[in-house]
Amino acid sequence: DTLFWKLLYMHKNLPLWVQPPLRQGRELSERHMLNPVTNAVIDGESTNADLGAGGRRQSVFCDEFSRVNPPDAESIAETISDTTPCRIFASTPTSRGHPFGKLRFSTKIPVFTMAWYRHPWKKRGLYRSPDINTVIILDIEYYQQRWPEVFNQYKNEEPIKYSDLEKQMLFTVIKSVDKFKLGFVADGNDKLRSPWYDREDKRRTPRDRATNIDIDYVGSGDMVFTADVLRRMIEEGCRPPDVEGELKYRVFTDEILDVKLERQTGRNRFKWWGPLAGSRPPQHHNYIVGCDISMGTGQSNSVASIYDCDTHIKCGRWTCPNTSPTHFAELAVALGKWVGGSTGKAFLIWESNGPGQIFAQRVNELGYDFIYRTREEKIPSRRRKRTPGWYSSGDNKLNMLSGYDAALDAHFKRGMETKAFFNPDEQALREAEDYIFYPSGKGTGPSSCQADEGGAKAAHGDIVIADGLCCLARWDQPRASIEFNPNGYKPAGSFAYRRNERQIADREKQEDGKWLI
């Protein structure tokens, strides 16, 4: 299984006229090969954090790099940067947050993907399903050789209805004994498949298939969120923000004044999806501002997410890695006042762990009182406490993230609109893809923080937590009150709508009663 055994095997099977003479000892020893003709050297080293330190090499090859512990992997990648000008990393994926995943998606290095469908016999019978009950065969010759009675009439890349194909297979006399081995997966996922892939799909777990066949960085981790829901929302709903800019305000003693949005200025840390009524959001809606706080040292972001309770859509985000908790609290209060809504100001919720205590103190000094207060999550009534903010524990965090995941899924289900959470922010959903369950029951979080100690994890702010807090606070900040409609329109589910339906039903009963004896 080792790379050196493979090197020795290749050397042994080279033609004699090209095979360099290797004698045990100087030219060949444990993890060392020397070509006496060219003086080229290949050395091997066990995986450790100091790999390559102090040496100089023409190239370094790291095999199955994503299997290395994240701290060691990060140290190795940094150390061999001085050791060699040519670093080659090869691996199956484990997660986007692992140092190998970061290198893969950094856009700073060339990437070569060796997919299963490039293997000469694994790709036999290659096909895909662009829509439910539809298959497009990319290797029709494979099927024509085995089942000519059925497939001679079809061409490569011709859309075929699988239900029609099944009927034809059923009523056609096929001489081959492999008749019942013929089948396709017409699920509409439009991914490349083959008879080999279908067999492997049946015998492997989803995570095994994602890691070792699909090269899927999302499915290869033990994900917190439903991968298919995130993919669908990214593909169908994500879009660039409609407005970017900076929120400007003035702090006078303990009061925030003159809040306004300046478009396309500064670092454009504020992003908005949707219409703005003049210079502010529509004021006949209700809003929530969810905050996740970092220490502002540049290691992770402080994030404020804005959620529209009436449209059930995330409509804004402010992000910065260099803002202290105190200044971030001032920004959050300014954001709540600028957003406003039918309640006059947005409902504010934040994570109180770590730097959240500093944030809470400043919010209190500024007199912003429309805030979330901790609830007893383990009792049915969810009784409210006096403590401001939301405290994260193992169970609380998992319950909050699970509720957020269910709300994202509800967007794609009929009749679940009021429980839905639509997120047009691609960066937020990409972070959600990287959220995993840590091994040995150490909680949940970004895979990049897996090796951090408890205090370091608490200092990480991210978009996922801010979005999840907005979802959690929906029970405390309902939709805005429906204004009187002079045309008599009664929204479905409202009290007036249900009363009207009851009156209609009573009249129908009275009409039917006239004919009863």
Q: What is the pLDDT of residues 293-315, one digit of tens each?
A: 999 888 888 999 999 999 999 99
CB-neighbour burial class of residue 426 (10 A; exposed 0-12, middle 13-18, buried 19+): middle
Per the structure, how many domains does the chain have?
4
What pLDDT score does 334 carry?
A: 95
Assess whether 422 and 321 both reside in one domain.
Answer: yes
DSSP 8-class letter at 378: T
Same domain, 72 and 164: no
Percent over 70 (pLDDT), the chain: 85
The identity of residue 433, as a single letter, is E
Per-residue confidence at 486, pLDDT binned at 50, 70, 90? Answer: very low
Compute the radius of gyration of the chain from its Cα atoms. Answer: 30
Residue 226 lies inside a defined structural domain of this protein: no
Q: What's the confidence (pLDDT) of residue 455?
A: 40
Closest among 56, 49, 97, 89 to 73, alpha carbons compared:
49
Report the C-alpha dihedral over residues 141, 145, 147, 151, rounded to 10 degrees. 30
Domain shared by 329 and 390, yes or no:
yes
* Closest-CA residue to 331 (of 309, 356, 359): 359
- From 214, 229, 258, give the residue that closes a domain: 214
**Contact in structure between 151 and 140 (CB atoms under 8 Å):** yes
Summarised one tens digit per residue, pLDDT across range 333-348 is 999 999 998 888 999 9
Residue 465 CB partners (closer than 8 Å, separation 6+): 290, 292, 303, 351, 392
Torsion of CA 212, 213, 214, 216, to 10 degrees: 0
234 CA to centre of own chain: 9
Report the distance separating Cα 459 and Cα 354, nearest Å.
Answer: 6
For residue 99, being part of any structural domain is answered with yes
Same-domain check for residues 65 and 123: no
Q: What is the DSSP letter of 460?
A: -
Question: Measured between alpha carbons, how far is residue 79 from residues 31, 68, 108, 442 in Å?
Answer: 20, 15, 17, 29
Task: Based on the fold, state whether residues 300 and 441 are members of the same structural domain.
Answer: yes
Amino acid at 411: H
Which of 52, 83, 104 finishes a domain?
A: 104
Is 361 found in the same domain as 272?
yes
Q: What's the confidence (pLDDT) of residue 306?
A: 96
Is 431's pLDDT higher than 80?
yes
pTM of the model as a whole: 0.67
Q: Are residues 31 and 132 in the same domain?
A: no
Within-domain flag for 227 = no
Of 80-94, 306-320, 370-384, give the lowest mean pLDDT range.
370-384
Q: Is the pLDDT of residue 216 over 50?
A: yes
**Quick one: average pLDDT of 391-418?**
86
- Which has the minimum average pLDDT: 28-37, 59-68, 258-267, 471-480? 471-480
CATH number of the domain to which 342 belongs: 3.30.420.240
Give the pLDDT score at 492: 58
Least confident of 289-298, 494-503, 506-515: 506-515
Tally Cβ neighbours within 10 Å of residue 298: 10
3-state DSSP call for residue 235? helix
Give domain status of residue 234, yes or no. no
Q: Where are the alpha helices (DSSP H) in 340-385?
A: 356-365
Domain boundary among 199, 214, 229: 214
Decide if 154 is inside a domain.
yes
Both 453 and 330 in a single domain? yes
Position 229 in a domain = no
Examine residue 111 and state whether it is found in any structural domain, yes or no: no
Q: Which phi-psi region, left, alpha or beta, contains residue 54 (left: φ > 0; alpha: ψ -120 to 50)?
A: left
Domain that holds residue 441: 243-475
Judge contact between 388 and 358, C-beta under 8 A: no
Judged against a pLDDT cut of 70, whether residue 246 lies above it is answered with: yes
Place of tokens 């396709």: 184
Same domain, 269 and 125: no
pLDDT, residue 508, reads: 64
pLDDT at 484 over 60: no
Place of tokens 């060691």: 72
pLDDT digits (tens, 9 = 90+) for 17-47: 888 888 888 788 888 889 888 889 998 888 8
Q: Give a yes or no: residue 231 inside a domain.
A: no
Name which of 7-11, 69-73, 178-182, 260-264 the model is least confident about. Answer: 178-182
Higher per-residue confidence, 476 vs 327: 327
The percentage of residues in the chain with a pLDDT greater than 90, rounded to a whole number, is: 38
Question: How confident is residue 510, by pLDDT bands cut at 50, 70 and 90?
Answer: low
The 10s digit of each residue's pLDDT in 100-145 is 888 888 888 899 999 999 999 999 999 999 998 999 999 999 998 8
Rounded to whole angstroms, the maximal C-alpha distance in the chain is 114
* pLDDT confidence of residue 451: 46
Do 248 and 276 share a domain, yes or no? yes
One domain for residues 127 and 255: no
Does residue 209 share a domain with residue 82?
no
